[in-house]
Structure 1
Amino acid sequence: MAAAPPTLEWERELAGQGYTLVAGCDEVGRGALAGPVSVGVVVINAATASELAGVKDSKLLREPVRQALVPAIAHWAAAHAVGHATAAEIDAVGLVSALRLAGTRALAAVAAELIPDFVILDGNQDWLSAPVQADLGFFGDGCAERLAADPWRIQTRIKADMTCLSVAAASVLAKVERDSMMVALAQDFPQFGWEGNKGYGTAAHREAIGAHGATDFHRKTWRLVP
């Protein structure tokens, strides 16, 4: 039996509590051996937004369907962005901090347009709400001051990508953008099959790393070969 599609039920509950601008947030690429971790953010006016047909957790959609949904999501959202943290940044600061970095970049991008009142974060780990170091300079143009003056509330929700439409939409944007990055990189590194595996640890990918060595796009602090 197919799972029920995500809805705006919780987003509308939040609007009823006074959180009008609700952001759904989801990450992709956490378990890959190569490429960035990417975080999608989709902000909606939860009091007025309508349902958006066809959107599900990105893992449940075929690649052409995900790609076709991107323009509809962009039109539907009040603001949207995808942030990335590179493999080198993952190696330098660790995965959780890199997720925070990617999420911070995405939220900084949407904050240039509007600042959400509430962020729904998929999963059970809040990797987003640790203080941002002011000297990292990721916000630019006064965004850091705006964010500090107007903090949002963050709450994790298990399987939010399956139940909350804003989070599912964010997962689609993040997946499509990260996948396109890996397909582009595959043209320069065809031996790793990134156009198909998107940097994840398939047997063929691990064998290629063993044969050719790691690139600067691999997470070199990870166990890349058996």
Structure 2
Amino acid sequence: IESACGAYPTGLRDSKLLSAAARERLIDPLRGWVSDYAVGEASAREIDQLGLTSALRLAGRRALTTLSITPELIILDGSHDWLSIATESLFDASYPVAEVAPVRTRVKADLTCASVAAASVFAKVHRDQLVSEMARRVPGYDLENNKGYATATHRAALRLLGPSEFHRISWKLPSRVAD
């Protein structure tokens, strides 16, 4: 977000504090406010293969490659810089961007920084759209209601149906009920 962006849209706050409808209503005003934005993804299979932190890095770097601008600074919500590569590793070749702008972490940045709150809204709306598509493709897991979170009905469906292509099998999932 550039200084020329002006005042942030009314109602902007951490996406977790907004209803789904409020997040959706903010998307167009946010698109008009930001210079550019991108949401990166990592599949369940990539998370299982790389681990959560490396998959976050992969998704973040994928997002950076689609931006029309080069950020001067990246602010991450939380205390851990999962975007930078601290040392060379076996997995470095997996990441689509060699260098990133300086990264700063800030605990609860989505509550105190408008650009991070905007990113949280873009990401949450995108995730909700993905989960809605997953619910259509793999019915039976109650994804339209649980949004992929480990509710009792979701865990029961996992026991009955086993994991779908969208479930991370590296996480401890309920055992499937014998046929």
Return the match for 1:74 from 17, 31, 36. Answer: 31
Q: Which one of the candidate residues 109, 116, 136 is aligned to 1:160?
A: 109
The aligned counterpart of 2:121 is 172
Deviation at 1:52, TM superposition (A): 2.1
Q: Does 1:136 align with 2:94?
A: yes
Deviations, residues 127-161 of structure 1 (Å, cap 9, x unaligned): 011168664373xxxxx4xx64xx41101000000
- The residue type equivalent to 2:143 in the other structure is W
State the secondary structure of the residue aligned to 1:156. strand
The one-character-per-residue Cα deviations of 1:160-205 (angstroms, maximum 9, x if unpaired) are 0011000000000000001111111101222101111111101110
Q: Which protein is richer in strand relative to its size?
A: 1
Partner of 1:119: 74
Whether the aligned pair in 1 keeps the contact of 2:46 and 2:55 (CA below 8 Å) is yes
Give the secondary-structure state (helix, strand or coil) at the position aligned to 1:79: coil
The RMSD of aligned alpha carbons is 1.8
Q: Could you tell me which amino acid in structure 1 is paired with residue 75 of structure 2?
A: I
Partner of 1:3: none
Which residue of the other structure, out of 148, 152, 155, is the alignment partner of 1:199?
A: 148
- What's the TM-score once normalised by structure 1's chain length? 0.71
Q: Aligned AA for 1:136?
A: S
Aligned residues: 172
Moved over 3 A (4+): 131-138
The higher relative CO (CA closer than 8 Å, separation ≥ 6) is in: 1
Structure-2-length-normalised TM-score: 0.89
Gaps of 5+ in 2: none
User: In percent, how many aligned pairs have the same letter?
Assistant: 45
1:109 deviates by: 1.2
**C-alpha distance 171-124 of structure 1, shift in aligned 2 (>3 A):** same
Partner of 1:49: 6
